[in-house]
Amino acid sequence: MGQTVTDAGLCGALQRWREMGEASREVFAALEPGARVGLISQAEMNQAPGARMVVWQAGPEGPTTALAPFAGFADAPADMVFLVPDEALDEVAAAGPDKGLGALEGPVRSGDAMLFYIAPKGDLLDAGYEEFMERLGFGFLGACR
């Protein structure tokens, strides 16, 4: 077994996140080209404004994966962002590349990871996020509890 994501850090494990995006081709197909989904770890976020995050961008050829600077949520370079605590990063990566972004569902559902919407609702709907979230196994509108 190679280096863990925790050892490599969020940004050092770009290849893993690329595989994750690839495995979620069908999910990303719900999004308009240009729509961006971010992933950041707690440790990385604590370094803002000098932090970076992983960004999957939807495109006609499937999602591309890259790192982008993260200076804070006010102008995060994504429409929505998964914030994963460092302890949960390995769990997400260990779910196997074939699980794609579906690996984030468990940690979000249990409350360990969080999902932040950066863009306004209308823009999210226009970009296809309702379908995207449903495909990932989340309700877009949220729960009434």
Q: Which is nearer to another protein, 2 or 46 (CB)?
A: 46
- Under the rule (CB under 8 A), what is the footprint of another protein? 72-74, 76, 81, 106, 109-112, 114-121, 124, 129, 134, 137, 139-145
Torsion region of 111: left, alpha or beta (phi above 0 gives left; psi -120 to 50 gives alpha): left
**Parallel, antiparallel, or unpaired: how do β-strands 80-84 and 36-41 relate?**
parallel
In the complex, the smallest distance separating the C-beta of residue 28 from another protein, rounded to whole angstroms, is: 16
Kind and range of the H or E run holding 43 = helix 42-45
Q: Which is nearer to another protein, 16 or 52 (CB)?
A: 52
3-class DSSP assignment, residue 55? strand
Q: How far is CA 38 from the centre of its chain?
A: 4
In the complex, the smallest distance separating the C-beta of residue 26 from another protein, rounded to whole angstroms, is: 11
In the complex, the smallest distance separating the C-beta of residue 122 from another protein, rounded to whole angstroms, is: 9
